[in-house]
Structure 1
């Protein structure tokens, strides 16, 4: 999710040149998006029922009329965004990757002069990241703030360039990044002297007296480490902070391996997943610390269509037609392996709307005596694979979940490969699978609720858990 500035900027400007020469027929793109959604989206049969079929058809017709007179890629993207957002699924995404917001605020020095009048608790002020980029966040309307470049060693944008725009939403913010057009809101939160842009960025307020923990957290983002951190809080508590699961399974595994001895020699482990919007499956390395029994993933359900079946057969081929590597055989007992082979044979022939897909379980090698209890912290920024790990952790007898309800974006999944649209700068990510819980207990509108809700300021959550966990 994070890309180095220099590489990103180069890619963007090449893309702008390439895509700027390509015509964008908005109606063609909309009709293709509708076709692929109705054929392949796992949520479509669940979300389009007789009760809302008429509003859905009206939306399609209205958008098609608008599309005829829409001739710029950005306007067309906004129209596609309106269609995709009808389904209220944060995993269902449309992105426009060619055009950046190149806004520049020229009178930054004049605006800077009033930043000191805003108080320590304001989002306004001067901020820096761990790579020495410095920005001013200034009010730009009633509930809008611009993050404006003051200085940076990492790009060649002019002073006053707007890196991102914040919009106030109750106690938090939504973010529009200069280099990403995406249909879902990117959340942001100010906690103490730190500003978190979901699991993408971390900023510290310049001139503020950072606490030891805040300084440590900021430093943990250096070198593309993305906030991964392990430490012992005291003789009884180990602490593991994982702000993202995005393409970092190997890094998480390495950190956990290096910290294994310390974790197994403390009575309690805190796994801090606050701000973690998901990604891949780095959580696998954490399973041994909370397992008290076999952890079952349960079936997911593939929306049956020609394209979805073709994609899934490619995934299943390794299990159905090739030997299982020795290190993985414990996850594939004969019964499970036969189920994978059966699925590979049956999928091309099934006439069902959804087909249940097998999954592996995590067998219990042993129950670790330490850590005796594991606290898992989540907040309203936790989504996707973080929510999936939360779901699995509920099978453990020694895992306790703390915090606030998660964001809600895991009812439908399996959208790693984008669907091509006629205009090449558009990327449509369609979830093709339904999660095990979706039919009975959907979470896209509610998130998962932790066992212990914490209503304190986030700076005090760790202290709260350290007081409460030994009582459980």
Structure 2
């Protein structure tokens, strides 16, 4: 990133006063102490993340964040402080939510910008050296992305300021998003939603004409006009959709997540392409960016990938006082029962929770065998594409299918967010904290997946065209095997 562009004097920008809304009776230091107590008592992986060897490091981190909580004066800042506390654990299953009783805190900032002047100064101030700067559009909004002159901490690098909007809640000159440089064309982003509440997310400028903001979508560059704009393929156009496309008769199955559709939807895709899949030498299953959801979503795919039974570790629970109550309520509700009815009708299971309160309880100490009801001979081989954005049940998918003789995993290590699961939400008043209550396996201390992830069979740099490389590699692999 050209640091010169971050600090250019932007003489026609002025920043208006910002008046954040503070929820009543919400002291960040009090919320912080409650959050620390909740994680230390209830977070299933706490005893693995904080050990005798690193407890001093944890306590020093906790003290620093406590000081920041003491200084916090707004809900927005307080949430950032709580999230900084969670960074010690490096676990994507830990997060902070706005409580239902919390008044959302809108963020409004005005930057005086004249479009004609912005265009006139574009070359004078060397904006052309950074392809991010310019005029962009998505849906109701047209924005100018420019260097920021706001001296907030941490100091942001760029802002997207509204030039036009058909949303009556938004006026010209209001900041639509803030960008903080990560590396290259990757950014952390504070995105102001339609009602001006803030969504913390990330984004990447995929090429000169496309800025993709996670969970929001793609912004298109209007000016300066992008020459020879790349025409997207069917796979690129449908990248966020569950679908099967074909690359020279090679089936390409895209599974963007495991939460937004039911297993039946995935099953319908597989059935519609069943005959062509079985006749293929190999197929591609792309789960890059899959942040997880329900394991059941990918079950219709397993008959095409597995070659026999697979082994899975026994799961367990951290039965703290809060977790035990939560799990009993959850298991009772899943059976359509009250807690009293559950205690009577599922007496053995209920007693298991009560009698093991205060311990890490496992249903077994070893492994169990999973066998798919149906296993198909075709395709001969399967490519699975992964990256560092594959989380949770995306990782259990990789863990399962990589035991198959026909599967080869390409890409980068997965995220490493799977050793703890079954998230419990605990309301602290101003915020709700979420953390895992369960364990993936009895041996996670000796054989952890968090935070390292699951390594691919064939590592391919994220700078490489992973799909193209994997197809070439698999073609060569099959050719070598046929000799």
TM-score bucket of the superposed structures, by smaller chain: 0.7 to 0.9
Counterparts of residues 87-98 of structure 1 (less than 5 Å): 87-96=89-98, 98=104
8 A Cα contact 1:303 1:355, kept in partner: yes
1:471 aligns with 476
Does the 8 A contact of 2:324 with 2:357 survive in 1?
Answer: no
Point out the more displaced range, 397-406 or 292-301.
292-301
2:466 corresponds to which of 452, 456, 461: 461
Q: Does 1:72 align with 2:61?
A: no
| Corresponding residue number in structure 2 for 1:287 | 302
- 1:436-447 alignment runs, 5 A limit: 436=441, 438-447=444-453
| TM alignment of 1:58-457, pairs within 5 A | 58-61=60-63, 63-64=65-66, 67-68=69-70, 70-96=72-98, 98-107=104-113, 109=115, 110-113=117-120, 122-129=131-138, 131=139, 133-140=141-148, 144-153=157-166, 156-171=169-184, 172-179=186-193, 186-192=201-207, 193-198=209-214, 200-206=216-222, 207-208=225-226, 209-214=228-233, 217-218=236-237, 220=238, 226-235=240-249, 237-249=250-262, 251-281=265-295, 282-317=297-332, 343-350=349-356, 353-357=359-363, 362-415=370-423, 417-423=424-430, 426-436=431-441, 438-455=444-461, 457=463
Rounded to whole Å, the distance in 1 between the matches of 2:83 and 2:32 is 10
Give the distance between the partners of 2:406 and 2:94, measured in 1 at CA: 34
1:23-34 matches, within 5 Å, as 23-34=25-36
- Counterparts of 2:34 and 2:87, CA distance in 1: 16
* CA distance in structure 2 between the partners assigned to 1:241 and 1:406 by the alignment: 17
| TM-score, normalised relative to structure 2 | 0.75
Q: 1:92: Cα distance to partner?
A: 1.0
- For residues 422 and 174 of structure 1, the distance between their equivalents in structure 2, rounded to whole angstroms, comes to 28
Q: CA separation of 1:118/1:391 partners in 2, compared to 1, >3 Å: closer, same or farther?
A: farther
Deviates more, 1:345-354 or 1:44-53: 345-354
Partners of 2:363 and 2:119 in 1: how far apart? 57
Give SS of 1:264's match: helix
> Would the aligned equivalents of 2:314 and 2:368 in 1 still touch at CA under 8 Å?
no
Query: Which is further off, 55-64 or 313-322?
Result: 313-322
* CA offset digits 1:32-78 (Å, max 9, x no partner): 21221111101211122223323433444555555456443233323
For residues 166-205 of structure 1, give each alpha carbon's deviation from its aligned partner in whole angstroms, at most 9, with x where no partner exists. 32223433233335768xx844333345433345523444
Distance 1:205 1:40 in 2: 47
Unaligned runs of 5+ in 2: 1-18, 150-154, 338-345, 478-483
Unpaired stretches in structure 1, ≥5 consecutive residues: 1-15, 323-339
Aligned residues of 1:247 and 1:280 also touching (Cα < 8 A):
no
CA displacement, residues 215-261 of structure 1 (integer Å, 9 cap, x when unaligned): 7634x37xxxx4333211122x0112233334333554444444444
Aligned length: 426
CA contact (8 A) 1:274 1:379 kept: yes
CA RMSD between the two structures: 3.6
In structure 2, do the counterparts of structure 1 residues 132 and 28 end up closer, same or farther at CA, with 3 Å as the change threshold? Answer: closer
CA contact (8 A) 2:410 2:456 kept: yes
Shift of 1:412: 2.0
Find the residue that maps to 2:414 and give its secondary structure.
coil
